[in-house]
Chains A and B, each alone.
Chain A
C-alpha cells in the first residue's frame, strides 16, 4: 500500500486557487520530488497533507489512515513545512525533548541518535536562538527522525545548508529510502534534487502538470540549453537558423544580451566551428539549463533566469 495517497485535493484562498484536482501517490521506499516554481502550491500541498490547512475537497491517506486538520498526524509520518521552527529560548536538545513529549513511542530514546545523524551533538546544548539557518534545518531533520518515520514530508530541506550539508542530507534520505521510508521532497530547483529522486510531481499554479518517474522525465526532456555570447549575435542567430539540429532564441532582457541555444553535444560543436569559419568569435558558452531543468521550465511556463520574455524560436 502506498505511504501517501492524495486524491482530488482542492484548496482556495478567497479567489486564489492554491490547489486544484491534485492527485499524488508516494510508494514505500520511493523518493518523490515535488517540484514547482514559487507560488505553485507545493507548500500548500504539504500543509494540507500534514493537516495544518483543511482542503476544500479531496482526501488524504497517510500510511493507510485518513488525515486532516481534525486528526493527529499518524505515527510514522514526519516532516516540516517551510523552514523548521523551534523555541529559541531552549537548547537544541531541549527542543527535541519537548517535541518527543508530543510523540508516542520511544521518541525520547532516539534524541541522541538523531542529533548525531545530523551532526548537531556538539551544539545540542546551545540555545536554538543562536543557530544558523543551516543548523535549524538540520535540527528540523533530527526532529523528524525522532518519529521513526515511514513517510517523510520535507519542504526544501537543503535550504541554507552548505554543500557538505546538502550531500549529507542526500545520503541520509537515500539511506532512509533504502530502508523503505517514503520521502516527498519539495523544491523549486530540480537541480538540487535530481540525484535523489526516483520520481517527480510538477506543480504549476496549483495544478499537476507532470507526474512520472525520473527515467520518464529524462526521456521526455529536451536537449540541454546553453547561453552563447558572440562578437555578432545577429550573424550567429542567422547561422543557427540554417541548422535544423539547433534551436536558438535571442535573449534581450539579461545584459549583455546573447543567445540561448539548444541542441545535443555534436550539433553544438558543429555550430561553434561554423561560427568560427564565418568570422564570428565565440566569447562565452555556458550551460544554461540541463535537460531536466529545461523540461521543468517548459512545464511550468517559467522563463529561465537568463532568458527574456521576448524570445523568438529559430527556426
Chain B
C-alpha cells in the first residue's frame, strides 16, 4: 500500500491546488471582503508547504521520548486559533472573548503535544486539557458568543452559526481521532490518511466556506444592530 510520505505528497498537492483555486475564488470577491479570506488562503498555502515538508521528512524534532512534527505543529498552531478566533469574530465578540478563544485553542493544541510527547502527569494532563478546552469553547460559542451573534445581522449570525456548528463538530471528530490515536487504534497509513483528511477539511473546507460567504461580512455595515431586518431579496443559496 502507499507509504505515509506518498500520502502526504498527494495531500500537499491537493493543498496546493486548493490554494490556487481559493486564490482564484478570492479574486471574485469584493476587495473589501478579501481581507477576511487572505488568512485562510494563506493557511492553506502554508499547510501545502508543511505537508510537503513532512512528506519529505523535514521538520521532525526529537523531544523527550517522542518527536515533534514541527511542520504539522506550525500548520496547526496557525489554523486552529484562526478558525476559532474567526468564528468568535463572526459573532462580534469582544477582544477579551477573542483572546480567550484563541488562547484556548492554542492550549488545546499544546495539550495534544504534551499528550503525544510527555509522560506521567503531563501525558495525562494533555487529553484532559483538550477536553476541558473543548467544553469551554462549546460553552462560549453557545453562550455569550451566541448572544452576541444574535445582535449582528441575520446573515452574519447565520454565518456564525454555520461556522460554529461545523468547527465544533470537526474538532470533536479530531479530538476523538486524537484519543484513538493516543490509544493506538491506527496504524501509520490509516493515521496519516484520516488525519490529513480531517486537516484538509479544516483548512481547505473552512477556507472555501469563508471565501464563499465573505460578502456576508460586508452587509454588516448596513444591517448591523438590526437583526430583525430581512433583505428585500431572499435568495436560497443552499450552501
A and B assemble together: no
Name A's B-contacting residues (CB within 8 A).
none
Name B's A-contacting residues (CB within 8 A).
none
